[in-house]
Amino acid sequence: MGHVSVERFGAVSVLGCEARIVRREAAFALRDRVLSQKEAGRIVLDLSEVYALDGIGLGVLMFLQKWASDRRIPLMLFNPRSVVRAGLEGTRRVANWRITSLEEVLELIHDPNRTVRPISPTCELNAA
């Protein structure tokens, strides 16, 4: 993985991921950057530049979803490429992924206290 950038907009943390999440080092780097955002009110993972994701990367994303849920921090995925969406779809029985639109991310940045709509029990991979 190239690198993970972090930008804070009030209570919203936006983490931009680049390249691949296919090795333990890359997946754990992402995990560590997200875990450092424990004071955030919302976390958005920008996956638009991630072009490869393997089982380790999926496992870390599932861990992060559970971690955020346990802390009542909405974790949203922004603009995952088709290869990433395909991996996420394979985990439907285990995880409900919240895919967010650019409009919603911009609204959250503008108003971090805005209510986040609940996750559909059937998974929101076809949204956005």
pLDDT at 116 over 80: no
Distance between CA atoms of residues 55 and 91, nearest Å: 10
Distance between CA atoms of residues 111 and 8, nearest Å: 13
- Within a 13 Å sphere around the CA of 49, how many CA atoms are in the beta-carbon half? 12
Does residue 47 lie in a domain region?
A: yes
Distance between CA atoms of residues 107 and 114, nearest Å: 8
**pLDDT tens-digit series, residues 68-115:** 999 999 999 999 999 888 888 887 655 678 888 888 888 888 876 666
Does residue 91 lie in a domain region?
A: yes
Does residue 119 lie in a domain region?
A: no
Q: What is the pLDDT of residue 20?
A: 80
Does residue 78 lie in a domain region?
A: yes
**pLDDT tens-digit series, residues 17-44:** 887 887 888 889 999 999 999 999 999 9
Does residue 105 lie in a domain region?
A: yes
Does residue 121 lie in a domain region?
A: no
Does residue 124 lie in a domain region?
A: no
CATH code of 88's domain: 3.30.750.24
Structural domain count of the chain: 1
What is the chain's Cα-based Rg? 13
Distance between CA atoms of residues 30 and 61, nearest Å: 9
Domain hosting 67: range is 4-110
Q: What is the pLDDT of residue 123?
A: 40
Does residue 28 lie in a domain region?
A: yes
